[in-house]
Structures are given as structure tokens and as C-alpha cells.
Amino acid sequence: MNHPGAMPDDPKPEEPRVPIEDSLAVASSLGEANPAPPKASPVQSDRPESESRLRRILGRWVTIRDQPSEWEKLAAGLLCVVLVLLVWGFLTWGDPPESRIVSPSKFPSLGETLRSFPSLWFDRALARSTVWSLSRVLGGFLLAAAFAVPLGVVAAAYPRVNAFFRPISIFGRNVPIAAMIPLTLMWFGLGETQKVMFIFLASVAFIFFDTANSVDAVSNRFLDTAYTLGARVTAGWGARRALWIGLIYAAILGAGSMAFRRIEEPQLTVSEIFKNPGPWVAAGVGFIGGFLVWFPIQAHQAVRKVLFPLALPDIVNSLRLLFGLAFGYIMLAEVINSTLGLGSIINFSQRRGPREHIYLILIVISLVAFSIDRLVFWAQKRWFPYREHAES
């Protein structure tokens, strides 16, 4: 505050105004003196693009549960086959056979094996033997599925039935399969019945166990919904359906037994076969067994319309996987008294040669089993398109 007569305060000098251009220049110079941290930017790899792509591919191999594409599955499978062939060629390479790592009498080369195919096809009747082996496997496996699948459904639907059959299931899945050969020889003789029944006994326990697990995996909420909608027991209707199924089983088993008897004894006439009690016993077992295993399923709507249909995709997938196991058992089934069949060719080649036929038969068995597996898998995708997670 200025008093009268006092000298006025000196005005403050005005600060010079800096032009905007100069302010920008100063800020720029300060920025250069104290540069701000640079923004994060993606790391640029100096390595070639092909190397980085290879690293990504290899990285997916060690990533847990990273599902490959169909092309990657095919490429991985072909890579495995190529590696096996390379190892085969390395072990059997050498111009004089004595210079090879493995003796040709034990492990022939790939070229020698492939060159022996004409003699296997013409001299050993490869086509007929394949048909005979496949018919034996299909006969035994389908017979096992015809009884084990409905019995597994019943066991899973009624836990006390499952507890009743559990000891037999455990025994059947753990007994050595080769130990069944002398038993089937004593029970069914040396003919075709023995071979089919050997495949049946080797497969039935596994099919029963997998079927029961598939049905047991169905959630109880579906049963609750079925009961809410009025699912009930229909004993009369179920008995009629089971009766027809039993008649179908009786006709198939009776006709099959007659066909086997005709093959084993070609000199028998049709009237003599009819007089034999074997086909009639088989038909009776088929009728009684078919009725008993299907009646509990047909008599209850919750089992017939809920549990069985929902578990059917898993049951079919299990049958597809188990068929390959059953096809491998045909070698044991054809060890004794078999003139035609892939197993008989292996036994004959092991004793008298050529050894190359053994490796060719193993390749043929793998190709036939793989073809059937892919056929059933294709049918699975058509029948159950909603089950995309089926094992391939």
C-alpha cells in the first residue's frame, strides 16, 4: 500500500515472452537431454522366418494337451512309419548278407520281404487265408458282443447284478489268454468251433467291463428327467420284444453251428447234421441267453430309452478299439489244426520258411485291422455326429 507522498513502487519488469516455436525447441532439447523411456515394442527377431516357424512347430510338441490338426496327425503318423523303415533298412543293409548287422535268417531286408509277396499270394493262398481268419474273428467277436453288451447294460443299470458278475469279469480280464487254448481244445475239439469260441472267451470279459463303464458314466439327471416324464416298467411289452430277440439269437447260433459242422465234416448230409444235437443245443443256448440278457433292458423304459441310447456312442467306440485286440488273438486260435488262416501261414513259415512271409503277414494283419478300425470310426461319425470327442 502506498502512503501519500511516498514514491510509488517500481513496477516489476515483464518477463519476456518466448515464441511458441522457441518453446517447442527448448522442450525438444530437454527431451534429448533427458530422453523418456521408449515405448515397449515387439521384439524383432533377426533369425530367418523359416527358423522361427520351426521353433513354433517344435514348441507345440512339448505343449501339454495342444491338440494337433488332422494334417499334423497324418504327418506325425507318416514320420513314424518312415523312421521304422529307415531303422529296418539300416539293420538289414549290406551287399553280402554276412556283413549285415542282423542275420537275414532272422530279419530279412525290406526288399527281400516285398519280393516274396508273389509266392505268398499264389503258393500260400493269402486271400483265402485272410478271409478265413477274418471270418473267425468276426464270428467270435460278434458273438461276444451279442451277449456282453446287453449284459453290461443290465449290470450297470442294476448294481447288484454288477456285483454278482464282478468276480467273473475280473477273472476273465486277468487270466492269460494262451491258457484258454487247452481248455477250448478239450471243450470244443479241433475244428472251427474251437477257434471261434477262443475269440469269444478272449473278448467277452473286456466287452462286458467296458460296456458297464460306459453305461455307468451316464449322469443320473437323465434318469431323473425320465422318471419325471413318466418312465415306467413295461414287463409284458418287454417280454415280447425279448422273445423275438431270443428267437433271432437261436436261429443265428443254430445256423452257425450247422455251418461249422459241415465244414469240419464235409461228408455229412443235411439230415445227419439235423440229427446231431450240437446245433440244437446252440440254438437253445441262444434263445435262453438272448431272452435273459435283453428282457431287463426292454422291460424298463428308463434303461431302453435313456441309459442304453446315451451310452451307445461310447459302447461302439469301445468295440472298435477291442476288435483290434481280438484280431491279434487269431494267431493263438490258429496254432493247432488249421490249414487256412494267417496264423497257420506264420506257423508254417516259422518251421519251413521263407521267413519273409512272417513279416508280410504281420503287415497284412495290421492293414486289415486298421481298415476295419477306420470303417467303424467313419460309421461312428455318421451315427453320432454330436460326439466329436470320440477317440480316433
- Asked if the structure places residue 367 within a domain, the reply is yes
Contact 117, 360 (CB under 8 A): yes
Contact 308, 153 (CB under 8 A): yes
Mean pLDDT, the chain, integer: 82
CA distance 183 to 189: 10
For the cut 50, the answer to whether the pLDDT of residue 33 exceeds it is no
> Cβ–Cβ contacts within 10 Å for residue 263, how many?
12
pLDDT tens, residue by residue, 234-282: 899 999 999 999 999 999 999 888 888 787 777 777 777 777 888 899 9
- Asked if the structure places residue 207 within a domain, the reply is yes
C-alpha cell at 226: 425320465
- How many domains does the chain fold into? 1
Q: Which residues contact 210 (CB under 8 A, 6 or more apart)?
A: 152, 315, 318, 322
For the domain that residue 133 is a member of, what is the CATH number?
A: 1.10.3720.10
Q: What pLDDT was estimated at residue 71?
A: 86
For residue 344, what are the domain limits? 121-232+300-383
Give the global pTM: 0.78
Q: What pLDDT was estimated at residue 388?
A: 61
Q: What pLDDT was estimated at residue 212?
A: 94
Q: What pLDDT was estimated at residue 6?
A: 47
pLDDT tens, residue by residue, 296-341: 999 999 999 999 999 999 999 999 999 988 888 887 888 777 778 8
For the cut 70, the answer to whether the pLDDT of residue 11 exceeds it is no
Of 259, 143, 166, 256, which is closest to residue 212 (Cα–Cα)?
166
- Asked if the structure places residue 306 within a domain, the reply is yes
- Asked if the structure places residue 103 within a domain, the reply is no
CA distance 202 to 209: 13
